[in-house]
Chain A
Amino acid sequence: MICEVYNLSEIFFYSHVTSSVVTLLVALIVFLNGRHRLLNKLLFAVALSFSLWTLVSYLSWSLVNGDLISSIWPFFGVLSALISVLCIYFVYVFVYNRNAPFKLRLIYLLLLVPVMLFAHTNLSLKGFDLASCDAFIYEGIPYKLYYSALGYLAMAWIAYILFKGYRNVTHRSKTEIILMGIGIELFLLIFNTTSFVSTSLTTYGYTDNSDLEYYGLFGMVVFMVFVSILIVRFRSFNVGMLAAQALVIALLVLVGSQFTFVETTTGNILTSITLIITGVIGILLLRNVKKEIAQRQEIEALAVKLSKANDRLKSLDKLKSEFVSIASHQLRSPLTAIRGYSSMLLEGSFGSFPAKAREALERIDDTTKFMATSIEDYLNVSRIESGNMKYENTDVNVKELAEHVVDDLRKMATQKGLVLSLKSDLNSKAISKIDLNKAQQVIHNLINNALKYTEKGSVTVFVHDDVKKKKIYVEIIDTGIGMSEETLATLFGKFERAKSSTVASIKGTGLGLFVARQMAQGMKGDVTAYSEGEGKGSHFILELPLMM
């Protein structure tokens, strides 16, 4: 049965070819880049169903054999319903990043079964109109209403899934959900509405021109543009460079397909120019994307390596702390004996010694004192890092404590020819709830450091408080060697010591300031340091909580 040849409009070729090629291209790239991922498979299934729909549409408008057109006509309903249900399934997997539960998949199937089972019956199609070479007037209205309603049901269902996903975002960012929502809802709205409205108008005889249906196909192109954004911007489908290539090719196809309907020379020239410009921009885009992806992959690989190295370092650091702790404990016991006996020897408990022997004993005493301090620092670091540092906080008068430490170190200052003074400006009783011994150790360390690194001039200790902030401060200001910005940045790190030749001879472990700050922070305080530069003196501030 042959019907009259139908003159197809130019938009027919443009809508069918362009939308199919763009859709299949994007979906195929996504599928080939992750053929084991359900999400990629479903996107491909949606695209394939849509392309089959356009193929059915293309054949039904271009063929003249009534039998053949009738035999493919039922697939309009079948594929429309399939697209709707697949879209719901696709969005579910997109949002939750897992397969839909078995019962839900059965519901999807149940929605489809009536359309599939009755597709070849009179409920779907009763006959064919050879006069107009279509079958609109023979379509079953309830059947058509059912599969058209499925499209709108899909829109509502998808909106619900996306809304729920947006409120409880776990696998996707909110922007991804919004982009997917806009893309797929626009597609379903344009596709279903134009298809339903156009064919209904033709069925009821209000028009014999169903060109409106063609414009509905561009809904899929809109959706694919959103999918492409998700691919390039968010890597939502685990696709990298290839997606960008597909996007550029799709753009070229879109522009190039204008040749199918442009008839004037000017139109052809403009299309050619547009095609060339799009091609050039596309190549630039691809280069940038390629570069960006390579950089991103390199950074990701480095981050993984860095993370592993960091774990290894942490483990080594722990081992080192344990080793230092054990070694320090074993060193401390014999050292205590050496210090005790040398002290007794110097005090004359074992009789008198010649002057040279006494000088040697004094050196032994000095060296063992430094060793004891160093071991105590190592043990403190070990305790801090293992979280075993204990603080026994009591009410301490900070001003009196600072005075006590200053008195202890005055002899050392005098020996070096330095002026060590203490000033105060207090609006409170200067009471702080802190560990007395540790606070004393911190203040001692800071003043001792100031004396060590000051060749001439003075060291001033200034105690003051801020009642509003409930803080008390012990500032140590010296006229010593000062510090560069570089030194200040690493000053409170472990084993950090000034590197200039001026201080090379000064004894120290490089742990004092690290321990001081950790202890201060352990007592809800802090230690900070300032300097205007090398040779311009230093300024350390110990901050402690003030009891009112």
Chain B
Amino acid sequence: MWFKENIFSLTIVLLLILVSAASYYRFMVAHDFLVLHDLECDPVLESCFIYCEAGGYDCEEPDYYYLVEREAAELIKLCGSELKPSECDAAYECVLGEEFCETIFCDPEFDLDKGVSMCESQTDNNNSVNNLES
């Protein structure tokens, strides 16, 4: 009778404990998830995303970056858990034999679909900037 009366609260508490434990294990212990981080990019050599602190097209000192998506556990293995990826040289490129690692450079067409990014690339006939923003 007591169990039947309290089944709702008991189940909720039990499930919350399970969720907390499972999340803690996955994200804090096993680091079993993907991480996307941005790294400094040279627009002369690569097609870079542009980030402007002020936003918009007119940016005097834009930041150029590209993205790397990899396993969190791998990033921690390379840089430890206390460093920002930009402060860790090993984070700049995928390691040979790394199970999952993808380097993402700016793709004007792809990013046009997404409608948010600005690209700059040396390959664009010295137009220097492709500002693609919806």
Binding site for B on A (CB under 8 A): 1-4, 65-68, 70-72, 74-75, 78, 82, 89, 99, 102, 105-106, 108-109, 112-113, 116-117, 119-120, 125-131, 137-138, 205-206, 208
Which residues of chain A are within 8 angstroms of B31 by Cβ–Cβ distance?
A: 67
B34 adjacent to A127 (CB under 8 Å):
yes
Q: Chain B residues near A108: list those with CB within 8 A.
A: 8
Docked complex Cα distance between A230 and B5 (Å): 27
Is there an interface contact between A119 and B35, defined as CB atoms closer than 8 Å?
no
Min CB–CB distance B98 → chain A (angstroms)? 15
A1-B76, A108-B8, A138-B36 known; 12 new pairs, CB 8 Å cut-off, are: A1-B75, A1-B79, A3-B84, A71-B23, A112-B15, A116-B15, A120-B19, A125-B33, A129-B36, A130-B35, A130-B38, A205-B116
Q: How many residue pairs at the A-B interface have CB separations less than 8 Å? A: 104
Q: Do B85 and A130 have beta carbons less than 8 Å apart? A: yes
- Beyond A127-B72, A131-B37, whether A113 also contacts B27 by CB under 8 A is no
Q: List 23 A-B contacts (CB under 8 A).
A: A1-B75, A1-B79, A66-B35, A66-B72, A67-B72, A67-B81, A70-B33, A71-B26, A72-B23, A105-B8, A106-B7, A109-B7, A113-B15, A116-B18, A117-B15, A120-B19, A120-B25, A125-B33, A127-B33, A127-B35, A127-B72, A128-B36, A130-B36
Q: What's the interface size class on B, roughly?
A: 35 or more
CB-defined contacts of B79 to chain A, threshold 8 Å:
1
Question: In the assembled complex, which residues on chain B have CB atoms less than 8 Å from the CB atom of A78?
Answer: 16, 19
Residue of A nearest to B67 (CB): A131
Contact in complex: A126, B33 (CB < 8 Å): yes
Q: Are A71 and B114 closer than 8 Å at their CB atoms? A: no
> What residue of chain B has the Cβ atom nearest to residue A137's Cβ?
B36
**Nearest A residue to B82, CB-CB:** A2
Interface readout for B80-96 with A: 1 if CB under 8 Å, 0 if not? 01111100000000000
Is the beta-carbon distance between A1 and B35 smaller than 8 angstroms? yes
Instruction: Tell whether A116 pairs with B19 under 8 Å between CB atoms, given A126-B33, A127-B69, A128-B35.
Output: yes
On chain B, the residues within 8 Å of A120 by CB distance are 19, 22-23, 25-26
Would you call B35 and A2 a contact (CB within 8 A)? no
Instruction: Please tell me if the beta carbons of A70 and B116 are within 8 angstroms of each other in the complex.
Output: no
Minimum CB–CB distance from A91 to chain B (whole Å) comes to 15
Residue of A nearest to B79 (CB): A1
Query: Cβ of A1 and Cβ of B8 under 8 Å apart?
Result: no
Closest to B5 in A: A99
Residues of chain B within 8 A (CB-CB) of A106 are: 7
Residues A68 and B33 in contact, CB atoms below 8 Å apart: no
Q: Which residues of B contact A119 (CB under 8 A)?
A: 19, 22-23
Please measure, in the bound complex, the distance between the C-alpha atom of A493 and the C-alpha atom of B97, giving whole angstroms: 107
Residue of A nearest to B26 (CB): A120
Asked whether, in the complex, the Cβ of B28 is within 8 Å of the Cβ of A2, the reply is: no
Which residue of the partner chain B has the closest CB to A204? B114
Bound complex: CA of A208 vs CA of B51, how far in Å? 12
Bound Cα distance A71, B115 (Å) = 30
Contact B19 A128 (CB under 8 A): no
- A129 to chain B: which residues have CB within 8 Å? 35-36
A105 x B23 contact (CB < 8 A) = no
A4 to B51, CA, bound (A): 14
CB B14 to nearest CB in A, in angstroms, measures 9
Are B115 and A205 in contact (CB-based, < 8 A)? yes
Q: Which residues of A contact B127 (CB under 8 A)?
A: none
* Pair A71/B69 contact, Cβ less than 8 Å: no
Question: In whole Å, how far is A104's beta carbon from the nearest beta carbon of chain B?
Answer: 10
A172 shortest CB reach to chain B, Å: 22
Which of B12, B24, B81, B116 counts the most A-chain CB atoms under 10 A from its CB?
Answer: B12
Q: Chain A CB within 10 Å — which of B27, B31, B67 has the most?
A: B27
**Once the chains bind, are A116 and B82 in contact (CB under 8 Å)?**
no
B18 A67 Cβ-Cβ under 8 A: no
B69-125 residues with Cβ-Cβ distance < 8 A to A are 69, 72, 75-76, 79, 81-85, 114-116
Q: How far is the CA of A216 from the CA of B28 in the complex (A)?
A: 30
Distance of A205 Cα from B111 Cα, bound (Å)? 10
Contacting pair B84 A4 (CB below 8 A): yes
- Also in contact, A68 and B28, with CB within 8 A (given A116-B19, A120-B22, A131-B38): yes
- How long is the Cα–Cα vector from A54 to B57 in the complex, in angstroms? 36
Contact A71 to B34, CB < 8 A, known contacts A109-B8, A120-B19, A205-B114: no
Q: Does B11 contact A (CB under 8 A)?
A: yes
Task: Given A4-B84, A127-B72, answer yes or no on A71-B24 (Cβ-Cβ < 8 Å).
Answer: yes
Complex CA–CA separation, A137 to B24 (angstroms): 21
What residues on B are CB-neighbors of A131 within 8 Å?
A: 36-38, 65, 67
**Assembled-state Cα–Cα distance A82/B37 (Å):** 32
B115 with A1: CB separation less than 8 A: no
Q: Enumerate the 3 nearest inter-chain pairs by beta-carbon distance, A residue then B residue, closest first.
A: A127-B34, A71-B27, A120-B22
Report how far A66 CA is from B75 CA in the complex, Å: 12
Q: Which residue of B lies closest to A105 (CB)?
A: B8
Q: Which residues of B contact A116 (CB under 8 A)?
A: 15-16, 18-19
Taken together as a complex, chains A and B put the C-alpha atoms of A26 and B47 apart, in Å, by 55
With CB as the reference atom, state the residue of chain B lying closest to A89.
B8
Q: How far is the CB of A126 from chain B (nearest CB, A)?
A: 6
Q: How far is the CB of B34 from chain A (nearest CB, A)?
A: 3
Complex Cα distance, B16 from A494, in Å, reads: 72
